[in-house]
Amino acid sequence: MTRDAAGHASGIAADQRADAADPAVLAGDEAAVLVADGGEVAAVAGDEQAKLAAGDGAAARQERTRFGVFAWLRWGWRQLTSMRTALVLLFLLALAAIPGSVLPQEGIDPAAVQQYYAAHPALAPFLAKLSAFNAFGAPWFAAIYLLLFTSLAGCVLPRTFRLARSARQPPPQAPRHLRRLPYSASFTTAGNPDQALESTAAMLRRRRFRLRTGTGWVSAEKGYLHEVGNLLFHVALLGLLGSVALGGLFGYKGDRLLVAGQTFANQVPTLDVFRPGRLVTASDLQPFTVTLDHFYADYVRSGPERGQPASFNALVRYAAQPGAPEHSYDLQVNHPLNVDGVQVFLIGHGYAPIFRVTDGTGKVRFDGPVPFIPLEQSGLSSAGVIKVPDAQPQGLGFAGVFLPTAVDVDGRLTSAYPAALLPRVSLVSYAGDLGMNNGIPQSVYTLDTSHMHRLAVRPFPLAQGQSITLPHGLGKLTFVGYRQWASLAITYDPGQLPALISALTALAGLILSFTVRRRRLFVRAAPAADGAGGVVTAGGHATVVTIGGLTRSDAAGGFETEFVELAGEIMQSLSGGDTAASATHDGNAQVDGAQAADAKAGAVQAKGE
């Protein structure tokens, strides 16, 4: 039986050794120790690296196959929603906004855009192809904005959910070794541990701490408004981006140059420029009307700032819809007119000389004001054209300048002051086909002279009431007078109020996150022991109370002082018990911190006494 048993054991050992020789059976980092017949069999470990090396080619091919389209999409999404990408896109957005701040914009000041064309005839068309005069509506700006919106949404939304969960979490369990925390204090008081913890919990609850209790400990936390501030900021940031998108989808902008005495209705055909949102149609415009009665401009008349604008006032009448009562309003810069949710801004002004043109048959073919666009702001010299395509026997055209205060400087006419103190007009006359019937749209501020010839009339400054007689009996032009015009910007932005609310909410969230500290206080109470290890029971029970403090962020400081005050208040609330036990320990407390440990200990000791 002994030999059989030994043989049986030897057989088992042999089988185990055979199994151990196979790395597929005994694979891993731990060795298998097999003992048979009282002898020790060597440990056999699986060689994982050998297996990987053996199947390296197949595994690599499988990995490449597995990293397909969805893996690339997942990788791209992670890169797009990273904070680094969001910061890069934010920087690119700031760079893309530079043209909108440096160059004149069509939606803000069309007259300044025309001045830029006149001053830079070669550069302006190139910039126009890049949408530099409408930077905030350019495709490249929209692409950066959409990428930034997606990046922030993908980055902020998960963080928002994490912050919401964090704001609802109860305080953690008190650590076992509170003396290892950055701030700690300990003292001995009379009474049993449960009473000490109950009294401490009541005091912390009055201080509006969120509590969690356990056997022998109390955990308290305060400053959840810090997380609320972070949550508000992130939600408001998404709301701000959504508000901008709301205005881009359902809002619209338009421009209208309105000469004094004229009226316009808020309709697409009557607007000089119309930029609708993606989901806006012509029927969505509010049907109000605006009439410009008078325009007044006042300028500085002396000193180094002579000629600078002092005030602009446009007296208008408006009606919310056709047939509704009219109301008067003094439209000024930065004081827009609000009508039916639409804001009407005063963004520019100029002069509109009044001309009367009589053709060769003696018939008046044109009689009215013509807006001239300012070429410069110091003297408000302006340029414009008069088109009379119906004149007989040939169409007539005139191009020239209007000078509010004309002066001769070295044989060259210019304007010395923007107010109309000495108004003059100088024109160049043309006759021929103006090209207005060929179906190609023309600007009202330019004259196509490709099919016209210049008339032999010497340009000279016309005063009010003076005329130019055209040669060959082609007619006559008279400078009747002038009016002033105002450039109005019509803006409807349904996302403006939500954007303001979101911005204020984000600011409030930042203030909360910067001013409120999230701090934790832990208290443990245990029976006090004498030098022999027995519990002190003279006059009742004695309890050792240990307090620990921790804050997540305290860049502005202040938690050290708060911890000292809380520790002292806890000591004071527990000092009403057995005075003998308190006197034995003399109310001594030790406060440990990174700085000024002795000063904190003295402060807490004073409060405890």
The Cα 451–Cα 433 span in angstroms is 5
- Whether residue 536 has pLDDT greater than 80: no
Lowest-pLDDT range of 155-164, 263-272, 393-402, 581-590: 581-590
Q: In the sheet that 424-432 helps form, which strands lie side by side, from edge to edge?
A: 373-374, 382-388, 396-403, 424-432, 452-454
Instruction: Say what the pLDDT of residue 461 is.
Output: 92
Q: Is the pLDDT of residue 232 over 90?
A: no
pLDDT in tens, 489-507: 999 999 999 999 999 999 9
What does the pLDDT read at residue 524? 94
- Predicted local distance difference test score (pLDDT) of residue 65: 52
Enter the tokens of residue 472.
């060959």
Whether the per-residue pLDDT at 414 is higher than 50: the answer is yes
Give me the sign of the Cα torsion angle 304, 306, 307, 311.
positive
pLDDT range class, residue 556, cuts 50, 70, 90:
low
What is the per-residue DSSP string for 294-354? EEEEEE--SSTTTT-EEEEEEEEEEESSTTSPPEEEEEBTTB-EEETTEEEEEEEEEEEEE
pLDDT at position 424 over 90: yes
pLDDT of 604 higher than 60: no
The string of pLDDT tens digits covering residues 41-67 is: 333 334 444 443 445 555 555 555 566
Please report how the helices 193-206 and 559-574 are oriented relative to each other, as an axis angle in degrees rounded to 10. 130
pLDDT over threshold 50, residue 304: yes
CATH 3.40.1710 fits 173-222+517-608, yes or no: no
What is residue 337's predicted lDDT score, i.e. its pLDDT?
95
- Distance (Å, rounded) from C-alpha 104 to C-alpha 136? 12
- How high does pLDDT run on average in the chain? 80
What is the per-residue pLDDT for 576? 57
Residue 344, pLDDT above cutoff 80: yes
What residue spans of 131-260 are helical by DSSP H? Answer: 139-168, 193-206, 225-250
Look at residue 540 in the predicted model and tell me its pLDDT: 55
Q: Give the pLDDT score at 36.
A: 35
To the question of pTM greater than 0.75 for the whole model, the response is no
Of the chain, the percentage scoring pLDDT greater than 70 comes to 80
Mean pLDDT check: name the lowest of 382-396, 478-492, 531-545, 579-593: 579-593
pLDDT of amino acid 191: 80
pLDDT of residue 56: 53
Q: Are strands 542-551 and 183-190 parallel, antiparallel or unpaired?
A: antiparallel
Residue 219 has pLDDT above 80, yes or no: yes
Residue spans of the domains in the chain: they are 2-66, 69-103+120-165, 173-222+517-608, 229-249+496-512, 252-492
Residue 225: how many CB atoms within 10 A of its CB?
18
Residue appearing with tokens 């609310």 = 501
